[in-house]
């Protein structure tokens, strides 16, 4: 009988991840699951028996990129390796992946990760001589009705100081441009107690920063009815040993004043809210099926700005949605001025499979979308130059994330989620994962510069 060590020497895997923080954390949980099943993670595809690709379908032509990557992998088939596609493109394309990439043996959507152990058993069985003449094809494609979350105690966390906890999976919002409700299924929340148990375990392991995750993290609904999202946020922030708590991504419709009250009341909750707006035009918001109007969004911004602490605000914006006029775009530019964001993630609209926007007329030419994106980015750059300058002369506490030897600077992140690169003279050298006071001496559009002070 083989021990775990012997098994792991025989079964190796390589996992490549593409996409958002949810995908990154999903991969941490997948890695932990495979290791528990006797697999050993390796650094190259050449070393691996099983090659997995965790995919994202948010951006344009995502599926083409996946198939191009699978074509790169195909040359390794002759070495007896097996291949699997995980995540959103797996759920979106389903068994069509087997048709376009016959060397793939496993297709598994994120809602089916809890079934990975049994799927791995089937995959291993496919190596037997009896199965040699028939390609192994294993699928895990739950429909939107699943109520199961992917919970595992075997998460292989890649950062020893900052860790993720998924509290809600799936999405029920059905924005006209977004494929996520079709690839990740319905909204389903973990119990507040299971989240707090994981947070306490992380604190005991030495983690000091936790980030709560969800497609719409503030749409969280405790199955036991014990805690609202704001109450859970506060409870995680009160776990002994935790110094910082972040959360992303919030949906404006479910963003309540109680979230700001929790940030004001619990010092460990970070001074940062990411609140995607997508457009400054109520007409376009309605076409996008965002479930709120501009004035409702601005009401939430007013709550944030009225907080006792200064809270950094970041957002997402899509330009060139079908039917967006120059006037609509101008309203978005005006919104940037009115809010004064500390950061904007901006994108050109791209049509995605299965989404309602596919049926909309009046598409914006690609050249015009590119122009609008450039205009928006230039405006936001000027806003950030102004906003970042005000931090010069202030002291900020940073979590030390690493060092850039070429510049002789340490890399830190503030509670407001700003990168602060700093120098430390003499014997006063910080360590990665520690918290350090830094005096800001200069600013750039996307970062701050400073000196360690004691």
What is the Cα–Cα distance from 190 to 222, expressed in whole angstroms?
7
pTM of structure: 0.88
Query: Measured at the alpha carbon of residue 357, what is the angle toward residues 354 and 359, in degrees to the nearest 5?
Result: 85
Q: What SS3 class is residue 34?
A: helix
What is the Cα–Cα distance from 173 to 217, expressed in whole angstroms?
12
Spell out the domains of the chain, with CATH numbers in brackets. Answer: 4-140 (3.40.50.12160), 162-387 (3.80.30.20), 395-452 (2.40.50.140)
Element (H, E) at 451: strand 448-452
Digits of tens for pLDDT over the chain (454 positions)? 334 444 435 699 999 988 888 888 889 989 999 998 999 999 999 999 999 999 888 776 777 888 888 998 888 888 889 999 998 889 888 888 999 999 999 999 888 888 888 998 888 887 544 444 456 788 888 766 777 777 777 677 888 899 999 999 999 999 999 988 888 888 999 999 999 999 999 999 999 999 999 999 999 999 999 999 999 999 999 999 999 999 999 999 999 999 999 999 999 999 999 999 999 999 999 999 999 999 999 999 999 999 999 999 999 999 999 999 999 999 999 999 999 999 999 999 998 888 989 888 889 999 999 999 999 999 999 999 999 999 999 999 999 999 999 999 999 999 999 999 999 988 889 999 999 999 999 999 999 999 999 7
Residue with tokens 């360690």: 452
């Amino acid at each position: 009988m083989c021990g775990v060590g012997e098994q792991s020497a025989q079964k190796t895997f390589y996992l490549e991840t593409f996409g958002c923080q949810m995908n990154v954390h999903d991969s941490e949980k997948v890695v932990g699951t495979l290791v528990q099943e006797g697999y050993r993670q390796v650094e190259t595809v050449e070393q691996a028996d099983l090659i997995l690709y965790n995919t994202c379908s948010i951006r344009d032509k995502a599926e083409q990129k996946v198939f191009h990557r699978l074509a790169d992998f195909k040359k390794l088939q002759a070495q007896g390796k097996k291949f699997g596609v995980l995540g959103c493109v797996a759920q979106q394309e389903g068994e069509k992946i087997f048709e376009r990439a016959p060397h793939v043996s496993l297709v598994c959507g994120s809602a089916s990760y809890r079934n990975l152990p049994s799927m791995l058993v089937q995959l291993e069985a496919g190596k037997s001589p009896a199965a040699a003449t028939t390609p192994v094809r294993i699928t895990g494609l739950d429909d939107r009705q699943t109520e199961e979350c992917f919970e595992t105690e075997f998460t292989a966390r890649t950062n020893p100081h900052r860790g993720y906890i998924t509290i809600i999976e799936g999405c029920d919002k059905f924005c006209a441009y977004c494929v996520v409700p079709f690839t990740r299924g319905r909204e389903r929340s973990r119990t507040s107690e299971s989240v707090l148990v994981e947070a306490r375990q992380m604190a005991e392991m030495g983690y000091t920063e936790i980030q709560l995750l969800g497609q719409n993290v503030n749409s969280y609904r405790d199955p036991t009815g014990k805690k609202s999202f704001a109450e859970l946020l506060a409870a995680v922030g009160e776990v002994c040993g935790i110094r910082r708590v972040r959360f992303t991504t919030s949906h404006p419709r479910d963003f309540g004043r109680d979230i700001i009250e929790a940030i004001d009341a619990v010092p460990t909750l970070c001074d940062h809210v990411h609140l995607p707006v997508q457009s400054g035009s109520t007409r376009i918001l309605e076409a996008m099926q965002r479930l709120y109007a501009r004035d409702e969004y601005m009401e939430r911004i007013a709550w944030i700005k009225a907080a006792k602490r200064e809270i950094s605000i970041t957002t997402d914006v899509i330009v060139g949605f079908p039917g967006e006029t120059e006037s609509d775009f101008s309203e978005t530019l005006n919104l940037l001025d009115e809010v004064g964001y500390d950061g904007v993630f901006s994108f050109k609209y791209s049509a995605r499979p299965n989404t309602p926007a596919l049926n909309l007329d009046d598409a914006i030419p690609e050249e015009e979308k590119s122009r609008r994106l450039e205009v928006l980015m230039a405006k936001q750059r000027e806003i950030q130059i102004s906003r970042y300058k005000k931090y010069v002369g202030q002291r900020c506490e940073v979590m030390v994330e690493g060092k850039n030897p070429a510049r002789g600077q340490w890399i830190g992140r503030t509670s407001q989620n700003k990168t602060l690169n700093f120098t430390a003279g003499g014997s006063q050298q910080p360590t990665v994962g520690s918290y350090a006071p830094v005096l800001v001496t200069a600013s750039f559009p996307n970062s701050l510069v400073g000196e360690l002070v004691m």
